[in-house]
Amino acid sequence: MTAIRPLVMKFGGTSVATVDRIKNAAAIVKQQKAKYRHVVVVVSAPGDTTDELIEKAHQITRTPDVREMDMLLATGEQVSIALLAMALKEMGHDAVSLTGPQAGIRADAVHTKARITSINPANIVKHLRAGRIVIVAGFQGINPNDDITTLGRGGSDLTAVALAAVLKSPRCEIYTDVEGVYTTDPRLVPEARKLDTISYDEMLEMAGSGAQVMQGRSVEVAKKYGVVLDIKSSLVRSPGTVICR
Ligand code: ADP
Ligand code: ASP
Ligand code: MG
């Protein structure tokens, strides 16, 4: 059997914050599916869902149990995968949503900031071979105790990059609320300049000094496996920033 090398796309929280944004994300996926044939989509929780869930937990207890915290936070991403799958089906595409565990993502036992230990992509590949668009919940995996764990804030970036590495994707597209990586945060500094390309090390440096546009750990994994990243806006069609060697 020939290897399947799907495009991996990731949509951050603002890109799936409302029903209209979910439909917009589905339209972008449809377009890329026509181009790449096989597509895996990773999504974050809608909008501020994760922050709101953390806030709720802290209204109940000052010291939430970390296992229960992960159980709670993992629900956010499940809202997005199901709604995006429905949107794609409505557009006439076969799509299937998978949680992190269903996608074969195994993690260590450190709750709320687990590391991915391995990925068994068999289930994803089975659905891709059947012609389906596979939609995976970001930010989550299953640990050796069969408990759900989350991968730390911004962890959907890591899910996307790790899947792109395992599936040997030609590239990993990160759709967000800015048009790419800028010299500095464009929301704070209007004169910030968009960069066409940057190296992994430059992006690591920026992530290290607080640029949340890409989670630092995900950039480390991209560098290690040579995953080409393309950071772009889900709302404005314009060339983004390519991160490569
Ligand atoms: P997502 O929800 O799509 O993962 P994030 O909020 O995690 O998006 O990251 C995007 C945000 O990162 C932007 O809205 C921007 O304010 C911020 N940011 C900080 N530094 C930079 C930078 N150098 N270039 C682009 N965006 C940056
Ligand atoms: N929903 C998680 C967070 O807000 C993961 C992510 O968005 O990447 O941190
Ligand atoms: Mg993010």
Ligand 1: centre distance to CA 190 (Å): 14
Average pLDDT for 179-188: 96
- pTM for the model stands at 0.98
Pocket test residue of 9, 16, 189, 212 for ligand 1, highest count of atoms within 8 A of CB: 212
155 lines ligand 2 (CB under 6 A): yes
How high is the pLDDT of residue 202? Answer: 97
Q: Encode pLDDT of 7-65 as tens digits.
A: 999 999 999 999 999 999 999 999 999 999 999 999 999 999 999 999 999 999 999 99
- Position in ligand 2 atom list of the atom nearest CA 156: 8
Percent of the chain with pLDDT over 90: 98
Ligand 2: centre distance to CA 2 (Å): 34
Q: Whose CA is nearest to atom 21 of ligand 1?
A: 185
Average pLDDT for 159-179: 97
SS (H, E, C) the chain: CCCCCCEEEEECHHHHCCHHHHHHHHHHHHHHHHHHCCEEEEECCCCCHHHHHHHHHHHHCCCCCHHHHHHHHHHHHHHHHHHHHHHHHHCCCCEEEECCCCCCEEECCCCCCCCEEEECCHHHHHHHHCCCEEEEECCEEECCCCCEEECCCCHHHHHHHHHHHHCCCCCEEEEECCCCCECCCCCCCCCCCECCEEEHHHHHHHHHCCCCCCCHHHHHHHHHHCCCEEEEECCCCCCCEEEEC
Q: Encode pLDDT of 189-205 as tens digits.
A: 999 999 999 999 999 99
46 lines ligand 2 (CB under 6 A): no
How high is the pLDDT of residue 3? Answer: 86
Average pLDDT for 155-163: 98
150 lines ligand 2 (CB under 6 A): no
Proximal ligand: closest to the CA of 213: 1
How high is the pLDDT of residue 1? Answer: 72
